[in-house]
Amino acid sequence: MADRVHPGQDSPPATAAETSPVKPGPAPGTYVVQIPKDQIYRYPPPENAQRYQKYSRRSRRSCSLCCCMCWIVSILFLLVLFLGIASGILYLVFRPKAINYTIENVSIKRFGLNSTAKSNQLTTPVMSPEFEVTVRAKNPNSKIGVYYRGEGSVVAVSYAGVGLCAGRWPGFYQPARNVTVFKTVMVGEGIRLSRDAYLGLMGQQRTGEIPFGLDLKVPVRVKFGSVKTWTVTVKVGCDVAVDKLGVDASVVSNKCRVRVLPWKSI
């Protein structure tokens, strides 16, 4: 009886290439370049290395500058917030009121106005005015005093926008609930008005109402209880009218406006 032969028993096993599916190759005319991944991310091309370093340094500087600006803005915000809170507390505690200023008397010792001047004259005379002004300052506050500084102060008289004479505000301390009356002398030299202003001044002298402007700028320090502020500027603008140009002139009308510049000194 013949032996049976089973096909495939003695045949060699199939290889992996024969069992795995065949991958399609690249299309004709194309090339595949394989580069290690670490070289792509860690090593820029030589022509871009310098540019990469420049951009990296710029980015670090930008971050540092942003952090610095954030700190500065935060500090300024906290400072403004603190000052606002402190100002609110001071206002609630002391209830500050503006000081009232009044021009009580204006004595014109010298002016140089020629009452016989004619309207057709070509030139106006050169004047050297001298004014003595009495000012009344009333402090209505119950817990606030004011230190006036004479140094750096300016008191000036003008007519029709032309400065006539100037002087200084005396230095003194005005306590709470106090009324202080003082005099200041102002002198000017070489003043010449325009022809129209000069003739207008002559006409107003005849009517008995001559308007002048009185401007005061005084550096002061305000005292809240036992605390003194920094030096601020008080500006007072007054519209004053007198009946004549003489030593015995009387004030016909006066109105003063007060402004305080807390961040500006003279």
Report pLDDT digits (tens) over 77-96.
888 887 777 667 666 666 78
Identify whether residues 138 and 60 lie together within a single domain: no
Q: How many structural domains is the chain composed of? A: 2
Identify whether residues 79 and 162 lie together within a single domain: no
Identify whether residues 59 and 186 lie together within a single domain: no
Which of residues 77, 94, 111 is at a domain's end?
94
75 alpha carbon, distance to own chain's centre? 19
Q: How many residues does the chain have?
A: 266
pLDDT for residue 1: 47
What is the chain's Cα-based Rg?
45
Identify whether residues 202 and 257 lie together within a single domain: yes
Encode pLDDT of 32-49 as tens digits: 666 666 555 555 555 555
Which is more confidently placed, 23 or 75?
75
DSSP reduced 3-state for 52 = helix
Q: What is the mean pLDDT of residues 134-141?
A: 95
What is this structure's pTM?
A: 0.65
Identify whether residues 69 and 123 lie together within a single domain: no
Tell me the CA distances in angstroms from 87 to 90, 94, 185, 261, 262, one per residue in order: 5, 10, 37, 15, 12
